[in-house]
Every structure is written in C-alpha cells, then in structure tokens.
Amino acid sequence: MNSEELILVTGATGFLGVQLVRELLERHPEARLALLVRDRVGQSGQERANSFIPSVERARVQVFPGDVSLSECGLDAETYRRLQTETTRVVHSAATVRFDHSLDEARRINVEGTRHILDFAAGSRLLRSFAYVGTAYVAGERSGLVREDELAVGQTYRNTYEQTKAEAEALVRSRLGSMPGVILRPSIIVGDSRTGVTSSFKMMYWPLKIYARRLWRTVPGYPDAVLDIVPVDFVASAVDRLLFDEAALGSTVHLCAGPDGSATIDQIAHRAMEYFNGPEPRYVDPRFFFAVLRPLLFISLWGRKRRVLRDGRAYRDYFTMRMQFDTSNAGRLLKPAGIAPPPVLDYLDRLFHYCVASEWGRKPVSAS
C-alpha cells in the first residue's frame, strides 16, 4: 500500500466507527488517519478520539473538530483545502440512527451531511475511493428478497431514519459516475462475534433486556419474522477490505447475514429463553396489539411496565419483517479474502453473556 495514504473517517466515535478506526490502524501501519469529530460540551473532539485510539498510534491520527451537517464540514477554509488536497480515501459513516428525529432534522444530518462530504471528496484530486456506510433498511417496508442493486422501488418507510438514509444513498449513487466509490449496507450491527463486546445496547438489546429482567414476554410480532444481524467485527473488516478493493468500485454491497445466516424472531427468542431461563415467549398479532391491547394496557399499567410500552413503539415494526437481503456482491468481493458473517445463532450466547457480565452496559468488563 502507498505510504502516502490519508484516510478521512467520519462517524469515528460511533459504535462501528471506533472498531473501524482500530481496524484501519492495525491493517495499514503506514497510513495516516484524519478523523472529523464534533466537539461536545466539556469534551473536545480530540479528547473524544483519545478515549479509543491507542496511545502508540496517536502520531498517525489527526483529529479535526468539525460537523458534516455544516457547510465545508465546519472546518475553516485553510484546513478544508489542505485536507482536501491530501486525502486519498474517505469513509463516511456519520449519521443519526435515531428513529424519532423529525424529517427535517434527520435530513440535515443524514442527507445534507452526506452531500457535504461528497462535495469534499469531489475536490480531492488524490481520491482513490469513497466508502459510504448506509443501511440495508433503505428497503423500508418491503418483503421478500431485496437485491443489492435495488433502491427506490416504491417502498414506504418505518421512520425518518430509513427514509433519509435512502435519500442519502440516492445522492451517493448520483455521484458514483464521477467518483470512485462503493455503497455499503450493513443490517443491524451487534457486538463482537468473538467476545460479545458492545458499546451500544439498542435495537435487539432492548427487547432482550426487558425479557431477561422478566418485565415482558409478549411479542407483538410474527414468530417467522426475520432478524438479520451482523457483528461489528465483521462489518469493520468488510468496510476496510472494500475501501481498498478496486473491484468493489461502483457496487452496492449488503453487509448482512443474508438468507443463509439470519434467524427468525422465534429462533432468537427460544435461544434467549434457554440462556436466561425465562418464560415461553407469547406472540400477539401486532395489528391487534397496537390497535386494541396497547391502549388498554397503557391505561392500566404503571411504572416500569408502562415505560416498556412507551419505549417499545420504536421497535414494533422490526418484529414483523419478512424480507431477506441478497448478499451476492458481498460473497463475490469478500469471501476470497476470508471475510464472511457468522450465522446469527452461532454467536448469540456470547452476546447474551456480555450483556449479563456488563449488567447491560452499566459496568466495565475486563478483557480476558
């Protein structure tokens, strides 16, 4: 690899971003990294980055306080031009993953943020590749097999996250004719397949936690609904590989478990039942639950169970999905390098074990 590589990474402080930065540093010892990190109240972007970058690697990493949702990414003109001149590769993974943002707010971050980083990349004369990290759930409320070359086929969306990520991907696609790039679509990213370690206890983890704590066992969904999850170590390895693979340029790649590796809600629920020694999951038709049962329960329940009803609304549609993600491009590009997602059921217990050991993220777990 050329020793003059400068890789710009957005979203570096996110769950995937942290793992990806470590992967890039380990696999490309001569490359330099530029991280665009927002300052927070009481904590600078540099301090945020120092929390996960090994001290021996910090000489190769430069942190720029900025924000992709702002014009020129919030950088001063001189810094912007200099960084543009030196950058050879870009990984854009910054996004809001919240489901409850207004459409305007989600667009400001996901769509306009993507537009700003695309404009940056378009002016980078040394650019060799642009990797956009989207989501497989741009498929919205589709069912059946979703192909990697499909985007807008008339689908509706469950939330503003899905809609704005689809809009952002369309923007990236419109630039790929003039820019060397690849679109990457992970499904639901969970903890490390080898250790179970995670810093994010959202999505699949929330219903698991309330079940493990005996707060709830009713599932407003279908037992045969498909849950496609992928471990963060696989996604980080795949992003790194495809960022440097000329054969990937111009492609859209599902980083998903796919039809052969995903699992149904019922399979995961029964594995959780065995691990946590919990009660048999009870399935209720989701239309009946949300139209009739939930309003009645919301009136009669108080305390933690009422909070479960309130918080669970964001996840309701993910218990009813009957779509699978085609992974033909992923297989073609990644399998020759030995990179493939493990089947979901192969590492579930390791995810469960970390949840228990860390008390669902409330206490640190020593590496062993």
How does pLDDT run along the chain (368 residues), one tens digit per residue?
445 899 999 999 999 999 999 999 999 999 999 999 999 888 998 999 999 998 899 999 999 999 999 999 999 999 999 999 999 999 999 999 988 899 999 999 999 999 999 999 999 999 999 999 999 999 999 999 999 999 999 999 999 999 999 999 999 999 999 999 999 999 999 999 999 999 988 888 888 888 888 877 878 888 999 999 999 999 999 999 999 999 999 999 999 999 999 999 999 999 999 999 999 988 888 776 677 666 776 777 667 767 766 766 666 677 788 899 999 999 999 999 999 999 999 999 999 999 999 999 988 887 55
Quote the pLDDT of residue 114.
Answer: 98
Torsion of CA 264, 269, 274, 277, to 10 degrees: 180
Compute the C-alpha angle 12/62/41, nearest 5°.
60
Quote the pLDDT of residue 367.
Answer: 59
What is the C-alpha separation between 168 and 170, in angstroms, rounded? 5
CA distances from 15 to 25, 236, 319, 326 (A): 16, 10, 23, 25
The answer to whether 162 and 137 are in contact (CB under 8 A) is yes
What is the C-alpha separation between 326 and 157, in angstroms, rounded? 19
Quote the pLDDT of residue 287.
Answer: 77
The answer to whether 89 and 131 are in contact (CB under 8 A) is yes
With both helix axes pointing from N to C terminus, report the angle between 205-212 and 265-276 in degrees, rounded to the nearest 10: 40
- pTM to 2 decimal places: 0.92
349, two tokens: 């217990």
Q: Which CATH class is domain 6-190+228-261+323-342?
A: alpha beta
Whose tokens are 């936690």? That residue is 209
For the four alpha carbons of 111, 227, 198 and 231, in that order, the dihedral sign comes to negative
Cα–Cα nearest to 61, from 20, 1, 15, 119:
20
Label residues 230-248 b or e (16+ Cβ within 10 Å = b). bbbbbbbbbbbbbbbbeeb
What is the C-alpha separation between 213 and 294, in angstroms, rounded? 20
